[in-house]
Amino acid sequence: MEQAKRPETMERITTAELAKAFIDEQVGELRKQIGDKKVLLALSGGVDSSVVAALLIKAVGQQLVCVHVNHGLLRKGEPEQVIKVFRDEMKANLIYVDATERFLGKLAGVSDPETKRKIIGGEFIEVFAEEAKKLEGIEFLAQGTIYPDILESEQGIKAHHNVGGLPPELNFELVEPVKLLYKDEVRVVGKELGLPDNMVYRQPFPGPGLGVRCPGAITRDRLEAVRESDAILREEFAKNGLEGKVWQYFTVVPDFKSTGIRDGKRTFDWPVIIRAVNTKDAITATVENVPYELMQHITDRIVHEVKGVNRVLYDFTPKPTATIEYE
């Protein structure tokens, strides 16, 4: 594929006025490209695919078919938010696929990080392809490719950033309306399109989801401990002014237990590790200095509200030597 190049004369999208001009231009281009045909989009709920969905809804309405696959590794409330924003509020043609049992069944007993990633990625492609084959009249595949993806790939587009590996018989033509934008520009466009802040400014979230924050073989109870503790952390950061200030924050529940005490009795439960970092390029990262009193409060909530947890740890390690994610 020939590498797309951002025109040197293209102005940085930093204001609502520039975003509106970009949206108007793209709506015209999308209508010209798609015509009266149908276009398919894998809608994860992340900012890139969400902005593409909102652009296409504005341009071609019900000609867009969105497929949201819940692999059971999403954060608390995310599938519900996608349905609320796109199906209920924007009246999108949205297909919701709950493939939780399918994914967790495939992942049962698998502890190697790379093997887990391959299972999650491969299974996602299979589920999406199955849904695509059920549909008629689809000629276009929309993707949330952005300019850094192109810059960082020798072949033009990072394989892990799009729905690569679809069966060749589907033979879709690509639609990539934000491929010349940087992430901060995509966010400005998303705001102008009316997407909610917690979707526009969503933290980076890995494709394998909570699967990489549940090191070792994923179990349902440990996965729920990650999901619930992460929800508490995000809620408290939002309440205390850290949402938007800290680049990425999440919890991890490793596959080992330690002794503790609850209601005067000995327990043998998991720890929750909190990770909160700041970075400009994700190549290096520093650890956020979270106020001690807030950490005490978050710890108290997690150990009392999350089942199977008896201690909370804070990861002070910068990148390098540690990576941001655990797997």
Q: Encoding tokens for residue 121?
A: 């990625």
80: Cβ contacts below 8 Å, ≥ 6 apart = none
Crossing angle between the packed helical segments 100-107 and 113-134, to the nearest 10 degrees = 150
- 50 among annotated binding-site residues: yes
- 111 among annotated binding-site residues: no
94-100-105 Cα angle (round to 5): 145
Of the candidates 200, 204, 203, 42, the residue with the CA atom closest to the CA atom of residue 121: 42
Question: Residue 134 CA to chain centroid, in angstroms?
Answer: 25
275: Cβ contacts below 8 Å, ≥ 6 apart = 248, 249, 250, 251, 252, 315, 324, 326
- 88 among annotated binding-site residues: no
- Please name every residue paired with 262 in a beta bridge, in sequence order, or none if there are none: 265
What span, in angstroms and rounded, lies between the C-alpha atoms of 179 and 173? 15
- 47 among annotated binding-site residues: yes
138: Cβ contacts below 8 Å, ≥ 6 apart = 37, 38, 39, 40, 65, 132, 170, 172
- 258 among annotated binding-site residues: no
Q: Encoding tokens for residue 241?
A: 């002014």
- 45 among annotated binding-site residues: yes
- 49 among annotated binding-site residues: yes
| Residue 211 DSSP symbol | G
Annotated binding site for ATP: 44-50
Annotated binding site: 44-50
